[in-house]
Amino acid sequence: MSKSVLIVCLLILMFTYSGFVSNGVQIPNKKYVLVIHGGAGAISKNLPEEEIDAIKDGISEALETGQEILKKGGTAIDAVEAVIRYLENNPNFNAGKGAVLTEEGIAELDASIMSGSDLSCGAVGNVKRVKNPITLARNVMEKSKHVLLVSDGAEKFAKETGLEMVESDYFITPEMKKNYKKRMKEIEEGKKGTVGAVALDLFGNLAAGTSTGGMMMKKSGRVGDSPIIGAGNYANNKTVAISCTGWGEKFIKNLIAYNVHALMEYKGYSLKEAVVGTFNDKLSKNDGGLISIDRDGNYYIHYNTMSMTRGVVTSEGRFEVKIWE
């Protein structure tokens, strides 16, 4: 065998076993990771057991939804969208059905999604009749020239792209209607939270998504960090995928998600170093939390609130759901 032929063979082997592209076909790296959250806050351990179980069951079922996609070779972006759609349809979380209400007593929803492979992204803000804002965000990413659409324009685009529309009171659960003042207090104490997901697929691609009803009793038209790329959501195959939850204004001012990425790309920080450093430098106690996965499949969850509902599933057999620990 000539020296040149030997070099070509070695290169083929290198590309095959590193998950790169060979003859236009991407070779799987056989590793996936999915991390999701249901919000950071102050969920009381004194909640009725059935309510705690309902929250944990929702996270578990969302994890199973994403896992089925990833283990079959589905994309990170598909897994993230599917997980968040599930959580948007679950009234135990502050996204979609079950969203918290403005001072006028209506639900105004925000969401964003981002692909780490090419930095494509889409986001929507202040939508009131789109059943699944995360899917509308993906449509903005894939079917428009834009990144962020809001309010009536976003809803018009939702209709144009065939998404399911609902009446605005769809998002308000019967319990919310019946016990509005009581529910306000519960939610302000953190019983419900923003939802998000980050994923690494078998091909080494990262994705992140976040969806929320925002802050309870917010002013009409208020938009937080969840649909702001770089603040509450970010994904880049060079470094990390991140979804944030907490006091949105603080996350916007400090570009929390992008700051983690920047520390990793430009200063060479590890994932944990970048997340902890960002929280220590930019945020205060009780501001919130985030979930993250780096390009190598390491994941890190960090929060400075009393609790953070979250779950993890990996190709290596880990499956866990936690609120306080």
Structure tokens at 242: 């991140």
**Catalytic, out of 135, 194, 305, 309:** 194
The answer to whether 104 and 84 are in contact (CB under 8 A) is: no
DSSP state of 129: S
Q: Give the integer Cα–Cα distance in Å for 123 and 315.
A: 29
Task: Please list the residues that pair with 299 across neighbouring strands.
Answer: 293
Q: Which residues of 260-292 are buried (b: 16+ CB within 10 A; e: fewer)?
A: bbbbbeeeebebeebbebbbeebbeeebbbbbb
Answer yes or no: 278 catalytic: no
The answer to whether 36 and 197 are in contact (CB under 8 A) is: yes
Q: Give the integer Cα–Cα distance in Å for 322 and 39.
A: 12
Residues annotated as part of the active site: 194
